[in-house]
Amino acid sequence: MSAGVSTTFDDKHSEASTLTNPTLVLNCGSSSIKYALISEDEGTRITGLAENLGLDTARIKHTTLNGEKLEIAIAGGRHELALQKILELLEQYHFIAVGHRVVHGGREYSEAVRVDAHVLAEVKRLKVLAPLHNPANALGIEAVQAIYPDIPQVVVFDTAFHQTMPPVAFRYPLPKALYSEHKIRRYGFHGTSHAYVSERASHITSATGPHGWLTAHLGNGCSATAVYDGKSLDTSMGLTPLEGLMMGTRSGDVDPSLHIHLKRQLGMSLEEIDKMLNSESGLLGISGLSNDLRTIEQAANEGHEDAKLAIEMFCYRVGKYLASLSCALPDFTGIVFTGGIGENSVTTRTRILEVMRHFGIKVDADKNAGLVGGNEGSFHADDSSIELWVVPTDEECRIAQETRAALGLK
Ligand code: ADP
């Protein structure tokens, strides 16, 4: 244990009691691990992030209960070592369960499940559908198992919430055997976020239910979902998280013939095309500057033409998608914005709604301007056809809730 860590352990002993029966939430990615320790009443949490895994610059950024920030270097950058350090940092709080965000649950899982040998094998097997993510998720489960074999673990699948989609929404118009024999279908992602914000919106609105929401999760990854009466009816992401909206570095929808065209005309390999569509496109590809909307907004304000186009395209594509997803809803209560962009960019929200100009949506500009930096609230004018909400997402909280529920804890 590093010296930096041990000094803060002494300071925090008195705080341990305030985190009652906490659940540890782990989100193990290919180069990062996000974690949160959340008390039973969800009022208290410790959070952190291990980043740059696999590189010499790997480190854990940990925020203690009293807000103190620590940085711990991970020699060699190994995933297992980072997880060990994270568990060391948190063991004094006696977590009672661990909930893992797992990207792909295929069509087998429509809810969170307790980990056993079969479930772990399934998470690994489903790497055919999520080659970058599921193996890292499985590693996290095994690391916890090795150190705390008696602590129950639960997997919460990013795809599970969308398992309520009807075939008309989840099938691709492709030969049937691709679906029945090879599971080629639309799965959808960001499920915990869409579930969390739609449930929250239904809780805080005064509209009588059942409610029909379009939830727009706009972060680095972006997706939109039609949620009616708590169920996902359609969503923008598909077999993989590449389908749908334009994102930070992902293209979203392109002509399916693009691959063959680029292969024939430019001699690009499938791997090169895949990398280009996932890592070099979207806001980054169009602006030529960054995948970070703040950087692009600043450049656009200074007259950068490609930055202006990137923002216009982003908003146009989100608005167009929301309009089409509204067809899935029997009743349209409102739109819920979330994610780093949805929660913070007042102008992006305004522009997206301008794209939907035939819907009779009216924005209260003052309320919209006040919804930044983690504020929750509505911003529709009194005479708007539908409601407009900003609900900061809390995927960790949702994963902790689902973990406790799967284990029969309160
Ligand atoms: P992730 O999908 O990685 O969790 P986030 O939800 O944190 O990402 O969203 C990241 C995006 O949010 C970035 O494009 C960032 O520029 C944007 N963002 C964050 N804060 C603001 C802000 N104040 N104004 C505009 N965009 C913002």
At 80-135, the pLDDT tens digits run: 899 999 999 998 999 999 999 999 998 888 999 999 999 999 999 998 888 888 99
Q: Is 292 in the pocket of ligand 1 (CB under 6 A)?
A: yes
Is 294 assigned to a binding site?
A: yes
User: How far does the centroid of ligand 1 lie from the alpha carbon of residue 293, in Å?
Assistant: 7
User: How far does the centroid of ligand 1 lie from the alpha carbon of residue 248, in Å?
Assistant: 9
Residue matched to tokens 């009588």 = 208
Predicted confidence at residue 21, as pLDDT, reads 93
The distance from CA 259 to its chain's CA centroid, rounded to whole angstroms, is 27
Q: Is the dihedral of CA 304, 305, 311, 312 positive or negative?
A: positive
Predicted confidence at residue 130, as pLDDT, reads 84
The model's pLDDT over 42-52, given as tens digits with 9 standing for 90+, comes to 888 999 999 99
Provide mean pLDDT across the span 281-295: 97
Predicted confidence at residue 163, as pLDDT, reads 96
Pairing of strands 23-28, 97-102: parallel
Strand order in the sheet with 69-73: 69-73, 59-63, 45-51, 33-38, 23-28, 97-102, 153-157, 113-114
Predicted confidence at residue 133, as pLDDT, reads 87
The model's pLDDT over 179-225, given as tens digits with 9 standing for 90+, comes to 999 999 999 999 999 999 999 999 999 999 899 999 999 999 999 99
Is 341 assigned to a binding site?
A: yes
For residue 27, give the nearest of 59, 8, 49, 3 by alpha carbon.
49
User: How far does the centroid of ligand 1 lie from the alpha carbon of residue 76, in Å?
Assistant: 29
Predicted confidence at residue 65, as pLDDT, reads 86
User: How far does the centroid of ligand 1 lie from the alpha carbon of residue 77, in Å?
Assistant: 26
Q: Is 406 in the pocket of ligand 1 (CB under 6 A)?
A: no
At 303 the three-state DSSP class reads coil
Q: Is 220 in the pocket of ligand 1 (CB under 6 A)?
A: yes
Q: Which residues contact 22 (CB under 8 A, 6 or more apart)?
A: 37, 38, 39, 40, 44, 45, 93, 94, 95, 96
Rounded CA separation 315/197 (Å): 20
Q: Which among 11, 56, 158, 234 is annotated as catalytic?
A: 158
CA-nearest residue, atom 3 of ligand 1: 220
Element containing residue 135 per DSSP (H, E)? helix 134-147
For residue 44, give the nearest of 5, 15, 8, 76 by alpha carbon.
15
CA-nearest residue, atom 22 of ligand 1: 344
Pick from 197, 341, 396 the residue to mutate for probing ligand 1's pocket: most ligand atoms within 8 Å of its CB. 341
The reported pTM is: 0.92
CA-nearest residue, atom 24 of ligand 1: 345
Are the C-beta atoms of 24 and 95 separated by less than 8 Å?
Answer: yes
Predicted confidence at residue 405, as pLDDT, reads 96
Indicate the DSSP class of residue 149: T
Is 220 assigned to a binding site?
A: yes
Q: Is 339 in the pocket of ligand 1 (CB under 6 A)?
A: yes
> Which residue type does 86 have?
I
Pick from 197, 286, 294 the residue to mutate for probing ligand 1's pocket: most ligand atoms within 8 Å of its CB. 294
Predicted confidence at residue 162, as pLDDT, reads 97
Lowest mean pLDDT among 75-79, 268-272, 402-406: 75-79
> Which residue type does 7 have?
T
For the chain, the farthest-separated pair of C-alpha atoms sits apart, in whole angstroms, at 66
Q: Is 69 in the pocket of ligand 1 (CB under 6 A)?
A: no
Is 217 assigned to a binding site?
A: yes
**Taking 50 as the threshold, does the pLDDT of residue 71 lie above it?**
yes
pLDDT grade for 402, boundaries at 50, 70 and 90? very high
**Taking 70 as the threshold, does the pLDDT of residue 16 lie above it?**
no
**Taking 50 as the threshold, does the pLDDT of residue 9 lie above it?**
no
Rounded CA separation 25/155 (Å): 10
Is 308 assigned to a binding site?
A: no
**Taking 80 as the threshold, does the pLDDT of residue 304 lie above it?**
yes
The model's pLDDT over 340-368, given as tens digits with 9 standing for 90+, comes to 999 999 999 999 999 999 999 999 999 99
Mean pLDDT, the chain, integer: 93
Is 125 assigned to a binding site?
A: no
Cα dist from 5 to 14, 56, 60, whole Å:
16, 19, 11
Domains of the chain with bracketed CATH? 9-164 (3.30.420.40), 208-395 (3.30.420.40)
Q: Is 29 in the pocket of ligand 1 (CB under 6 A)?
A: no
Q: Is 252 in the pocket of ligand 1 (CB under 6 A)?
A: no
Q: Is 84 in the pocket of ligand 1 (CB under 6 A)?
A: no
Is 158 in the active site? yes
HSE-CB at 256 with a 13 A cutoff on CA atoms is 4
Predicted confidence at residue 362, as pLDDT, reads 98
Rounded CA separation 410/405 (Å): 7
Rounded CA separation 42/401 (Å): 9
Predicted confidence at residue 3, as pLDDT, reads 32
CA-nearest residue, atom 12 of ligand 1: 340
Residue matched to tokens 């200074």 = 302
